[in-house]
Structure 1
Amino acid sequence: MHLRVIVPVIGDTFAQSVGAEITAWVSHGTTFDVVALARGTASIESEYDEALAAPGILDRIDEASSDGVDAVFVTCFGDPAVHAAREIADYPVVGGFEPAVLHALSLGERVGIITVLPNVLPMLRSLTRRYGLSERIGCIRVVDLPVLGLEDHELLLDRLHAEASEAVAKGEADVIVLGCTGMLGVAAALQRRLEENGTYVPVVDPTGAAVSWLESSVRLGVRPSRTTYMRPPVKARSV
Structure 2
Amino acid sequence: MHLRVILPVIGDGFIEHVRTEVEAWALPTTTVSVVSLARGTASIESEYDEALSAPGILDRIEECAVDGVDGVFITCFGDPGVHAAREIIDAPVVGGFEPAVLTALSLGEKVGIITVLPNVLPMIRGLARRYDVDNRIGTIRVVDIPVLGLDGDDGILLDRLEEQAVSAIEAGEADVIILGCTGMLGVADALKARLAGRGFVVPVVDPTAAAVTWIESSVRMGLTPSRLTYMAPPAKARNL
* TM value normalised by structure 1: 0.99
Inter-partner Cα distance in structure 1 for 2:118 and 2:141: 8
- Confirm whether residue 233 of structure 1 aligns to residue 225 of structure 2: no
- Confirm whether residue 212 of structure 1 aligns to residue 213 of structure 2: yes
**1:107 maps to which residue?**
107
Structure 1 position 229, deviation (Å): 0.5
Question: Unpaired runs of 5+ in structure 1?
Answer: none
Instruction: Give secondary structure in 1 for the equivalent of 2:167.
Output: helix
**1:223 maps to which residue?**
224
Structure 1 position 199, deviation (Å): 2.0
Inter-partner Cα distance in structure 1 for 2:177 and 2:63: 35
**1:72 maps to which residue?**
72
Q: Tell me the alpha carbon deviations over residues 213-235 of structure 1, each in whole angstroms, 9 at most, x when there is no partner.
A: 00000000001101110111110
**1:167 maps to which residue?**
168
**2:157 maps to which residue?**
156
**2:192 maps to which residue?**
191
Question: Unpaired runs of 5+ in structure 2?
Answer: none
Q: After TM superposition, which residue ranges in structure 1, 4 or more long, deviate above 2 angstroms? A: none
**1:54 maps to which residue?**
54
Structure 1 position 94, deviation (Å): 0.2
One-letter amino acid of the counterpart of residue 154, structure 2: H
Q: Tell me the alpha carbon deviations over residues 135-173 of structure 1, each in whole angstroms, 9 at most, x when there is no partner.
A: 100000000000000122110000000000000000000
Q: Tell me the alpha carbon deviations over residues 14-58 of structure 1, each in whole angstroms, 9 at most, x when there is no partner.
A: 101101101110012011100000000000000000000000000
Instruction: Give secondary structure in 2 for the equivalent of 1:103.
Output: helix
**1:117 maps to which residue?**
117
**1:88 maps to which residue?**
88
**1:34 maps to which residue?**
34
Inter-partner Cα distance in structure 1 for 2:133 and 2:145: 25
Inter-partner Cα distance in structure 2 for 1:164 and 1:227: 39
* TM value normalised by structure 2: 0.99
Inter-partner Cα distance in structure 2 for 1:215 and 1:134: 27
Inter-partner Cα distance in structure 2 for 1:12 and 1:47: 22
**2:138 maps to which residue?**
138
Structure 1 position 188, deviation (Å): 0.3
Once the two structures are overlaid, the 10-residue window that deviates more, 35-44 or 16-25, is 16-25
One-letter amino acid of the counterpart of residue 233, structure 2: P
Inter-partner Cα distance in structure 2 for 1:137 and 1:147: 22
Structure 1 position 134, deviation (Å): 1.1
Once the two structures are overlaid, the 10-residue window that deviates more, 172-181 or 13-22, is 13-22
One-letter amino acid of the counterpart of residue 20, structure 1: T
Indicate the RMSD between aligned Cα atoms, in angstroms. 0.5
